[in-house]
Amino acid sequence: MGEREAVISLSKVTAELGGRPVLRGIDLTVHRGEVVALLGANGSGKSTAIRSVIGQVPTTGGGIQIFGTPRRRFKDWARVGYVPQRTTAAGGVPATVTEVVSSGRLSRARFGLMRKADREAVTRALELVGMADRAKDSVDALSGGQHQRVLIARALAAEPELLIMDEPMAGVDLASQEILAATLRTQVAAGASVLLVLHELGPLEPLIDRAVVLRDGCVLHDGPPPKALGQHALPGHDHVHPHTHAAAEPIRTGLLS
């Protein structure tokens, strides 16, 4: 794996927010074609770490490279799809589903003009997340999980080589999670690399190559995904043997909270 090209590389990255250290020397690498899950308790620095990659958070030390280029000099953002962590209501002017997803395609559309190929990419992205039938609806009329799927379609519309997603499964029901897992599988099969923040591996578990666990702004674990984590989201999760369950509990909490 050492020789494989790194599409994201963080080395000893530090960052402060509100005068407090939030990232305290993070090393994180995503190789081409890899799916890396970023895990950790609330406030451990997951969103800050990925926002530092896309330049939304200033760093105070260390180095960040994207596709082998120092982030400050990286220009080719059309190669990167980003799905932000969903906060509360969207607010502002209500847009249609198609408008929101099309905004993700603008980086690819020449002179900002949506051509046939661009419109087709938007339709394809909506089909991938199972929202094609809602294309003309206002995003205000969507549920939280549907809104999340539209944000993912927006990132997919640019057909990025690198997908960075902050808790794409949050507020998404299990059926939709399965759709998103299939979507991601398609992207990865086509050669995409993925860095995503998750709280549970859930249906994505078979796709995850590596997990990086943060605690208090530091990397606590970098390696195989912690096994116990997917357990709760599995359809056949065993409620019959409370002792087995209790035995698994310290592993879960030890790593993640």
Site for ligand ATP, rule CB under 6 A: 17-18, 22, 40, 42-48, 85
61-66 and 6-17 as β-strands: parallel, antiparallel, unpaired?
Answer: antiparallel
> Nearest-CA neighbor of 198 among 154, 236, 167?
167
> Nearest-CA neighbor of 66 among 25, 30, 12, 107?
30
Taking the least distance from each CB to ligand ATP, the nearer of 85 and 103 is 85
> Nearest-CA neighbor of 9 among 152, 162, 132?
162
Taking the least distance from each CB to ligand ATP, the nearer of 40 and 203 is 40
Distance between CA atoms of residues 96 and 197, nearest Å: 27
> Interface residues for Mg ion in 80-109 (CB under 5 A)?
85
Give the one entry of ligand ATP, Mg ion, none that residue 48 binds, where binding means its C-beta sits below a cut-off of 5 to 8 angstroms depending on kind.
ligand ATP
Taking the least distance from each CB to ligand ATP, the nearer of 47 and 65 is 47
Question: Which residues are CB-neighbours of 87 under 8 A, at least 6 positions away?
Answer: none
Q: Shortest distance, CB of residue 47 to ligand ATP, whole angstroms?
A: 3
Q: Shortest distance, CB of residue 171 to ligand ATP, whole angstroms?
A: 13
State how far the alpha carbon of 18 is from the alpha carbons of 15, 88, 117, in Å.
10, 22, 44
Taking the least distance from each CB to Mg ion, the nearer of 132 and 218 is 218
Give the one entry of Mg ion, ligand ATP, none that residue 88 binds, where binding means its C-beta sits below a cut-off of 5 to 8 angstroms depending on kind.
none
Question: Which residues are CB-neighbours of 2 under 8 A, at least 6 positions away?
Answer: none
Span near Mg ion by CB under 5 A; candidates 12-20, 40-48, 180-188, 216-224: 40-48
Q: Shortest distance, CB of residue 42 to ligand ATP, whole angstroms?
A: 4
Q: Shortest distance, CB of residue 16 to ligand ATP, whole angstroms?
A: 9
Q: Shortest distance, CB of residue 231 to ligand ATP, whole angstroms?
A: 19
Q: Is residue 47 close enough to count as binding Mg ion by CB under 5 A?
A: yes
What angle in degrees, to the nearest 10, is found between the helix axes of 144-156 and 116-128? 140
